[in-house]
Structure 1
Amino acid sequence: MLHRQITYPQLAAMLKAIFVEVAEEEFRNGQKRQSDSRIHLLTGVHRKDVKRLRETSADASPLPAAVSTGPQLIAQWLGDPDYVTPDGKPLPIPFKEIEVGKPCFESLVKRVVKQDIRARVILDEWLRLGVAEFDGEYVTLNSGAFTPEKGFEEKAFFFAKNIRDHIAASSGNLLGEQPLHFDRSVYYDQLSAQSVKELKLLANELGMQALTAMNNAAMAKQKTDQDKQSAKHRMNFGIFSYDSLPRRTRPRGPERERSGKERSNKAESIAQISAEETAKPGDNT
């Protein structure tokens, strides 16, 4: 968060909003709308803040088109047999129709997006986010395109959406809610960097296979349920992998203005302090 200049007061403000939202959605007393006073008692958030946050939430602006329409397009691309290979990998498709009735990007956008958004606008945004590639004729969907590779706001949206549900599933399991949510992991240490890289590739491959299979099954269920009054529920199936291999994050703000000499001096100072701490007399622990 510090890399994005998100300070503690900003984090505290976001947590207030989350507390109010969860209290309002998950601690209802029947069908009656909760009062600001009750949410204040549940969360400890000041009544004035509760009122402001609830009004802000009601007036919240809609999601950007790239966020709201992107997952739907990708789901259709990966779930339609005409758009994938026999083993389920996305086929490159022409941007414009080359042959009548054959898949193309423009027809996919017209079929999925109900808003008046041109296919070129969505493609340009996908190129910016690293979701797809375009050679001037064919559009190629990148592997792992369920979430964008670039675009901080877009990635932050999916981060918030996924981590909220993951925490809800884990905390529900801790509280003994039934039925339990599936929440499992495979953990190994004492591995070489090469082994971790190979396992990471395997995780990516197996993860995409599972996501694609779940996407296709869920899309079929949604089509079956679309006219049912009971179709009021949602689900979220996610996969993550983590490893301790070193990574670099591009610094932002004042750090980027710091000269190489200043960074070197800081590193030398830290090393000197560390050496002095190590050499303190009387420390035999």
Structure 2
Amino acid sequence: MNHLSTGNAEFNLQQVLLLMDDLVQWLIRSGVGYNDFSAALKSVFYQQAIHELERIEQKQTVSSISLLSGLHRKDVTAFKKALESGQTLTQASVSEPISVPSRVVGLWIAEGLEKQLPFSDKDQFSFEDLVRRVSVERHPRSVLSELERLNIVSENEGVVSLQQYSFVPDTAMHEARKILTRNVHSHLQAGLHNLFKPEEIPYLEQAVRADELTVESVQLLHEKSLILWKEFSFQLLKLAMERCEQDDGKADAVKEFRFGVYQYYE
């Protein structure tokens, strides 16, 4: 039986927070706040608690899942009921915070209001009225500033305009984010495999680091690394294509291989 590794929880938390600093920057620039993110994390913690209980061969009770994940028992029960009824975790009836800016835009669109609203007007429906229908705690000006930052609305001479183009997905940018997510996910999986399964064959997970460099030296290393990557990636891609042709049609050809390289300097 596998045993639960206690480790140093505080130390590991601090290491994860170093990673979260960059991820939170991504979230905030995308309009995702703490409440939205913490609510979305509930299902992730639930799933990982289940995986850990399976790994250590312990019964998956509401208490054990709650203890491992830190989730409230009500949320755990809601997730269990959702899965038992054939629903997804995202369909579970768990407590979620209200995102005022997104609710404001959602109400604006759902009710078919004019795309331009006065920010404040005693004689007609205004942006202030719209915000107060969603929340009386958030100041309309603060909500407007957040929506302007996200390029969802614009204000000119007291008139707030809904930017329709903001709701059309940028295919290129979405794909770039998906590629980044897959690459970082694979990198983390390789590193965590090496940490948690030292008895197994480790994945390559290394980096070359140099400090106390001039801008000229950094630029030279930057250019050289691009040249080396171009040469190496060509060779590896050629081999990968050969193996794909060789494995085509085989019943056990279900694996995916990913090799990544990055460069960064500050």
Band the TM-score falls in, shorter-chain normalisation: 0.3 to 0.5
In the superposition, the TM-score normalised over structure 2's length comes to 0.46
In the superposition, the TM-score normalised over structure 1's length comes to 0.43
Larger relative contact order, structure 1 or 2 (CA cutoff 8 Å, min sep 6): 1
